[in-house]
Amino acid sequence: MIKKKIKIINKLGLHARASSKLTELANNFKCDIKIKKGSEEADAKNMMDILMLSANYNSKVDIIFSGSDEKKASNEIEKLFLNYFGEDE
Amino acid sequence: MVRYLLVTHGEIGQALAECAYQIFNKKIDRLECISINPKDDIDKKKYLISQTINRIDSGDGVIIFTDIIGATPCNILKEFIVENKVSVLTGVNLAMIIKALSSNNKPLESIIQESLDSALDNILKVSQDD
């Protein structure tokens, strides 16, 4: 299991297009990927689950990867967050 | 794969479809729209709906989304309902469509239930903490 704490740095937070990109990427991996914000938990492979987290700019989430390709998944998903989901800011 | 059709008052369906295209960053061929307007010839619209269902159905079924129960779009759709093949869901919202479009390769009944759950889960009073 790999756990990463990530701060959301893109201005619009985990909004719809960002969530769509995250889901698309997460679905490329076999491992389970859960996103936790406080007591709320979402399946990273389920876009509406992610949106329900209402994770805004500057909020912190824990992402938990468990499964055979967890290392690759954690690296690529962390990169997506750090790249502002491909957005300008 | 299940196909989707939006049959709504005016351009509601088209607007929802365009929002979905923006979110998924691509045109989604599995989703089509038909507008119902006050001056429409209803028999012609029924014919168009029938033709569209037959054209888009790949054999896994069609889900038709409409906006409000009891209104013309919903009423004219009732005759197209076929158990386990063509289903009509009312109260369409963007959450419902996103959920359905994210449900690749799932069976018709499973997508229907997940879409309805998603639609209802997303009707909330929002607080500043959300």
Task: Please give the Cα distance from B82 to B86 (Å, whole number).
Answer: 5
Residue B72 lies in a domain: yes
**Is A15 one of the catalytic residues?**
yes
**Which pLDDT band, with edges at 50, 70 and 90, does B119 fall under?**
very high
* CA B89 distance to own-chain centroid: 7
Tell me: pLDDT of B104 over 90: no
Q: What pLDDT tens digit does each residue of chain A (89 aa) get? A: 999 999 999 999 999 999 999 999 999 999 999 999 999 999 999 999 999 999 999 999 999 999 999 999 999 999 999 999 998 88
Active-site choice (A8, A10, A14, A15): A15
Q: Specify the CATH number for the domain of residue A12.
A: 3.30.1340.10
Could you give phi then psi for residue B89, rounded to 5 degrees? -115, 130
Q: Which residues of A touch B118 (CB under 8 A)?
A: 48
CB B34 within 8 A of CB B6: yes
> Which residues span the domain enclosing A41?
2-86
A64, containing H or E segment: strand A60-66
> B36: domain range?
3-121
As a whole number of Å, the CA-based R_g of chain B is 14
Which of A20, A46, A54 shows the shortest C-beta gap to B23? Answer: A20
Asked, for residue B117, whether it belongs to a domain, the answer is yes
pLDDT of residue B65 exceeding 80: yes
Report the residue of chain A nearest B128, measured CA to CA.
A54
Q: How many separate domains does chain B show?
A: 1
Contact status, residue B66 vs residue B74, Cβ threshold 8 Å: yes
Does ipTM surpass 0.90 in this model? no
Mean pLDDT of B76-86: 96
Give the three-class secondary structure for B65: strand
Q: B127 lies in a domain?
A: no
In-domain check, residue B38: yes
Interchain CB distance below 8 Å, B23 and A48: no
CATH of the domain at B59: 3.40.50.510
Q: How many domains does chain A have?
A: 1
Structure tokens at B44: 């012609």
Per-residue confidence (pLDDT) for residue B85, from 0 to 100: 97
